[in-house]
Every structure is written in structure tokens, then in C-alpha cells.
């Protein structure tokens, strides 16, 4: 019986070491890679453009195509445009039997959602646009989503008479 005592002392130490290795392996597998800053996984923006107003000092409009293929449901509720004093997501709708532009309600995004931000529908209005935003340049647009997520992209700046 005295010969088995050294093995009994080592056995608990081996069990602890094995458990520690198992936990470390689980932690490595469970930790997903960190997402890129200002990018929401599954959200794709195409054809982004900011169209300047014909009259300097008037609001500009941002148009783009949005596609969401993520598995987590989100809500798009606001936007920012770098170089603008403020920005708001607008939509055209009917009120009092007239089609009018109004601030949009939060927009639900679920897997497969596709939305065209275009003239006569959803768009981002950029107010108090800096004179430094000129046709031919780019403006950074940031969409704000539920859960604190943001998604940023560069929009080509176009003059008022250019294609929207």
C-alpha cells in the first residue's frame, strides 16, 4: 500500500492540469473574432451618394442601397453625416391625403431585408452642410443601430444637377 501513495498525490495535480487545459481550449473556441470598428456584420451598403442642394445652405440628401443578411434582428434608427450639423432619416408618406416628407420611424432589419434609400422614399437628410463638402469628394455616413452598433461608409458627393 505504501507504493501507491506517491501516485495518489500526483493524481489530483494531473486532474487539475487537465481541467485547466480543457477550460483554456473551450475559451479559445468560444471567443469569436472581434468585428471591424463601425461595421455591422451582414450589413451591406452599395451605391452611396450625397447629393448637394441647388441652393447653398439648404439640406443635402444621402441615397444608397441597403441589404442585411445578418442573423440577429436589428433596428436602424438614426444617421450622422460628417461635415453636416445634423442628419435625420426621412421617408415620404401620406398624411392628411397629401404625400409629405417626414421623419422615418425606426426601420427593422431582419435577414433578407433590402431597402433602397432613394428620391421619393427613404433617404438621409443632411442639414447645415459644410461648404467643405464639394462635388467630387466623399462624406462619411454613419448609420446607428439598436444595441449601440454603428455602420460607417463613404458616400460620393455629387452636385445638385448630377444623377441622384
Closest among 63, 35, 47 to 148, alpha carbons compared = 35
CB burial class (10 A; 0-12, 13-18, 19+) of residue 147?
exposed
User: Class for domain 43-158, per CATH?
Assistant: mainly beta
pTM, rounded to two decimals? 0.76
pLDDT tens-digit map of 30-81: 555 444 568 899 999 999 999 999 998 899 999 999 999 999 999 999 999 9
pLDDT tens-digit map of 80-106: 999 999 999 999 888 888 888 899 999
Q: pLDDT-based confidence at 2, cuts 50/70/90?
A: low
DSSP 12-45: HHHHHHHHHHHHHHHHHHH-PPPPPTT--TTEEE
User: What is the DSSP code (8-state) at residue 161?
Assistant: T
**Position of cell 445578418?**
70
Amino acid at each position: 500500500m505504501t507504493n501507491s501513495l506517491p501516485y495518489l498525490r500526483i493524481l489530483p495535480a494531473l486532474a487539475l492540469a487537465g481541467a485547466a487545459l480543457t477550460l483554456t481550449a473551450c475559451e479559445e473556441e468560444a471567443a469569436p473574432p472581434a468585428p471591424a470598428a463601425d461595421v455591422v456584420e451582414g450589413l451591406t451598403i452599395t451605391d452611396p451618394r450625397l447629393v448637394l442642394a441647388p441652393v447653398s445652405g439648404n439640406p443635402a440628401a444621402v441615397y444608397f442601397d441597403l441589404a442585411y443578411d445578418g442573423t440577429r434582428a436589428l433596428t436602424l434608427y438614426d444617421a450622422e453625416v460628417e461635415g453636416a450639423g445634423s442628419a435625420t432619416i426621412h421617408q415620404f408618406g401620406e398624411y392628411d391625403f397629401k404625400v409629405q416628407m417626414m421623419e422615418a420611424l425606426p426601420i427593422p432589419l431582419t435577414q433578407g431585408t433590402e431597402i433602397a434609400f432613394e428620391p421619393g422614399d427613404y433617404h438621409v437628410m443632411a442639414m447645415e452642410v459644410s461648404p467643405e463638402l464639394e462635388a467630387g469628394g466623399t462624406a462619411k455616413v454613419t448609420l446607428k443601430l439598436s444595441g449601440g452598433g454603428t455602420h460607417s461608409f463613404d458616400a460620393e458627393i455629387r452636385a445638385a444637377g448630377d444623377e441622384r
